[in-house]
Structures are given as structure tokens and as C-alpha cells.
Amino acid sequence: MRYIEPHGHMVSRTTDDYTDMAAAGCACVCEPALWAGFDRSSVQGFHDYFCQLTDYEPKRAAKFGLGHYTWLCINPKESEDVGLAKDVLGIIPKFLDRPNVLGIGEIGLNKNSRNEMKVLEMHVDLAARSNQLILVHTPHLEDKLKGTRLILDVLKSDSRIRPERCIIDHVEEHTVQMVLDRGHWAGMTLYPESKCTAARAADILETFGHERLWMNSACDWGVSVPLAVPYAALEMRRRGWSAEQIDSVVYQNPIRFMGQSPKFKLI
């Protein structure tokens, strides 16, 4: 099997995880900027994190034969401080030309607050001005439906944004259709305790089609499984999906979306 991990927070994972992913057939991993488990106290903290994502982590991944790409932003969880967010947005442009940066992400909403909305709009504006792909995080549980609607409206209201260049991640049964209807890509996050299980993800693929959908493990510093994508592929095989159909979801689809960036190449 070959697959791409399109959303993995590898700075929080061990080298054993890289080994397991490579052994399972992972071709490359793509890492959106994330909350670190604590709020960073200054713009300098983000500067260092962006250096880690664009310099150190690709070298670490390469030691295991894996390509590494990244997305930059201040994440929604730290977007309450609009002043800090403005400072962080100010340093992002100087990283955008780095060879492994695919775009702006994971932006979006966490608690659907007014300040989060403001910072989301600032990121969308930056992506539009600099012609970047966009990767969006949608809120959890009871905030997801409302948050997804708000995010879709922000993207729609900016006429410079091409919907096929945006992926809305962490979709579930009640949000996937509205995302696809707007012309965006949709991502499903496979988590052992929350979000989507492999069985739910397979149900969603069988219900809504797999034209513009991908699956990811998110594998961050919380309880998560770096091999969640190949495990979901096993569930698909158990249900009778052909090897070609599975390949189109776990390998070809991430290439089709991220290949819209000229920087995305498989090593």
C-alpha cells in the first residue's frame, strides 16, 4: 500500500512514528501549524516554530525517507489575541517562499468567537494576496456545524478565493455535504477517541463519494494514531473496495489537491 499523510503534527511525534509510517507505505507527510499544547507568549515563539516546520522537521522526515510539507498560520486556539495574531501574520510572508510551504493553515475557528473570525479573515486575505492554498480547521462537537457555516461564508465572501484551492478539514456526517457543495475539498480526521473512526470515514466515503475527500490522522500531542490512514484503508478493503479505489482516496486525492501548489513533489 502507498499513502500520503496529509495532516500530521509530526513535531509532537517520535522517530518510531516516522519509522512505522514509512514501513506502512507513507510517501510524504504534510504538517499544518498547530497549537503547541500551550499558548505561545510572543511572536518570537511562532518564528521559532515556523523555523522548525520549514527547516528542522523536513530534515528529520528525510532521514526516514519521507517528504515533508507544511502550512503556516497562527492557529484558531491562539487567535483571541488579535494584536499577537497581527504580529504573527506579519512574519509569515518571509517563510512562504521556503520549498516545503504549501499554503496557509490550519486556520479556521475554535469557539466561533468574534476575534477568531477577525483573524480568520486576515488569514484568508493573506492567502488571497499571496496566491496560497488554504487548509481549514473546523471546531469540535457542538460548535462544528455553526463554525463550518461561518467559515464557508468567509471563504465565499472573498471573491479572490477559488473554492477548489481550499480544503475544509475535520468534516463529519453533518458537515461534509455543505463543504462539497461549495466546491471545496473535505478532509476527515481519524481519531481513536473523538472525531471520526475508520468505520465512520468509510461510511462517509460510501455515502458522499470520494471525488474531493481525503483522510488524515492529525497525529498530534494528544491521543491519536499515526497509522490511522492505513488502518482506515484496511477497513475499506474489508468492505470490498478495490486496491485502485483505495489508492485513489489515500494517495491520489492528496496529490490532486496539494499538487495545485507547484512545490508539491513526491521524493
Contacts with Zn ion, residue ranges (CB under 5 A)? 218
- Min CB(159)–Zn ion separation in Å: 28
Are 107 and 72 in contact by the 8 Å Cβ rule? The answer is no
- SS3 breakdown of the chain: % helix, strand, coil, rounded to 5? 50, 15, 35
Q: Which C-beta is closer to Zn ion: that of 220 or that of 235?
A: 220
| Whole-number Å distance between alpha carbons of 150 and 137 | 12
- Min CB(108)–Zn ion separation in Å: 10
Q: Which C-beta is closer to Zn ion: that of 161 or that of 218?
A: 218
Q: Which C-beta is closer to Zn ion: that of 100 or that of 246?
A: 100
CA distances from 251 to 24, 25, 29, 31, 169 (A): 13, 10, 11, 16, 17
| Whole-number Å distance between alpha carbons of 252 and 19 | 22
Q: Which C-beta is closer to Zn ion: that of 112 or that of 217?
A: 217
- Min CB(222)–Zn ion separation in Å: 10
Decide the pairing of beta strands 166-169 and 67-72: unpaired
Q: Which C-beta is closer to Zn ion: that of 38 or that of 262?
A: 38
Are 214 and 253 in contact by the 8 Å Cβ rule? The answer is yes
| Whole-number Å distance between alpha carbons of 51 and 67 | 17
Q: Which C-beta is closer to Zn ion: that of 165 or that of 170?
A: 170
- Min CB(201)–Zn ion separation in Å: 16
Give the end-to-end CA distance of the chain in Å, rounded to a whole number.
Answer: 17
- Min CB(187)–Zn ion separation in Å: 10
- Min CB(244)–Zn ion separation in Å: 29
